[in-house]
Amino acid sequence: MNYGMPVLIELGCLEENCSLCKKLGLDFIEVNMNFPEYQVQFFDAGHYSALKDKYGIYFTIHLSEGLDVSQSNDFVRGGWLKTVEATVDFAKKAGCPVINMHMNHGIYITLPDEKVYIHEKRFGEYFETIVNFRKLCERCVGDSGIRICIENTDGFTDFEKKAVNYLLESPVFGLTWDVGHSISHDEKDMEYLLAHVNKLCHFHIHDGTRANRGGKCHQELGKGDVNLDARLALARECNARCVIEVKTVGSLEKSVAWLRRNGKFD
């Protein structure tokens, strides 16, 4: 099973992250497009390929959490779709096997006694954008073998589950189980994820606490409420990659030490 790390904000550049990745004996780095320096216009496949060769690692990509392929503004939605298209093109050139993404709940209207999500109220229009997104991804990915993995966050809504079900019918799409998000939101998505276990191919591994204990996540391994033995066993069974998604060098070093101490590395 391959283990990776996220790019860390306290490190100055991508090569510093590569050096740490190699030092810790990890296999890959997940490049996070929420960072200004990791926008698609800065992706240079030659540079990334050279770093792969130099350090003996590879890269996966985390699309921006702002991604909204169902945005009602045509200009904005078009920009997001072009971003996805360009990211897939880069991933093919740089040999990145996974592109991770979040679903976007979209805008909601707060009524006196409920929230009304625009995507749910206008589901036909919403679903049409999902159909178009899948077509775009299938065309861009082609036979490259890249998987676009949909990550759980704070609980899939019912209308999102319908959209994700449709996306998962395509071999281009898979699922990411973020186990820290899961525990901090009372395992809202566990039933759904386990019902689609054959689509799990990527994990974000970090510890966290249950909602009644603060609902924190991105904690170092062994410091929270996640059943790490069970989650890592499932990841291995699924032949999934695991990003150790903590946010500091110190937490990453301690988490790798926890994995080694508990016999989780091959």
- pLDDT tens digits, residue range 53-93? 999 999 999 999 999 999 999 999 999 999 999 999 999 99
Mean pLDDT of the chain: 95
- pLDDT tens digits, residue range 122-174? 999 999 999 999 999 999 999 999 999 999 999 999 999 999 999 999 999 99
CB atoms within 10 A of CB 246: 26
What share of the chain in percent tops pLDDT 90? Answer: 88
Residue 243 CA: distances (Å) to CA of 74, 109, 176, 212, 255: 34, 35, 10, 26, 11
Q: Are 164 and 133 in contact (CB under 8 A)?
A: no
pLDDT reading at 212 higher than 70: no
Beta bridge partners of 211: none
Would you state the structure tokens that stand for residue 167, as one six-digit string? 């996306």
Question: Where are the alpha helices (H) located in 95-216, listed in sequence order?
Answer: 118-121, 123-141, 158-168, 179-184, 190-195
Q: What is the pTM of this model?
A: 0.96
